[in-house]
């Protein structure tokens, strides 16, 4: 194989590798976006997804507009629910 042929083959290999990396990154970003949309749809249409949802709020609201308690239904059509109470404990750091 001549030097020109080697260079041509190497440039094709690099282009293919770069194209594959860009394609993989595009697929990864698309997959992450689809996962976010699926999560939103599960919560917007609990009757179709079977996902839990907040069905009520109880008590006073704090400075952030969050209630003292929330009522959560485990699935659409259930005849019972759970009540979760605010503990005023913060989890995680401040957002940027």
Range of the domain at 23: 1-44
The stretch 54-75 carries a mean pLDDT of: 91
- Can you give the pLDDT at residue 95? 59
Beta bridge partners of 70: 57, 84
In three state form, how does the secondary structure of the chain look? CCHHHHHHHHHHHHHHHHHHHHHHHHHHHHHHHHHHHHHHHHHHCHHHHCCCEEEEEEEEECCCCCEEEEEEECCCCCCCCEEEECCCCCCCCCCC
- Can you give the pLDDT at residue 15? 72
In a domain, 71, yes or no: yes
- Together in a domain, 55 and 28: no
Q: Whole-model pTM above 0.85? A: no
The stretch 17-39 carries a mean pLDDT of: 84
Domain count of the chain?
2
- Can you give the pLDDT at residue 60? 93
Domain boundary among 29, 44, 59: 44
In a domain, 81, yes or no: yes
In a domain, 90, yes or no: no
């Amino acid at each position: 194989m001549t030097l020109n042929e080697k260079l041509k083959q190497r440039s094709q290999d690099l282009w293919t590798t770069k194209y594959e990396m860009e394609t993989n990154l595009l697929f990864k970003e698309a997959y992450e976006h689809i996962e976010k949309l699926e999560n939103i749809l599960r919560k917007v249409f609990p009757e179709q997804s079977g996902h839990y949802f907040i069905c009520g709020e109880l008590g006073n609201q704090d400075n952030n507009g969050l209630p003292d308690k929330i009522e959560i239904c485990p699935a659409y059509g259930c005849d019972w629910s759970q009540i979760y109470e605010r503990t005023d404990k913060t989890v995680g750091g401040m957002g940027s």
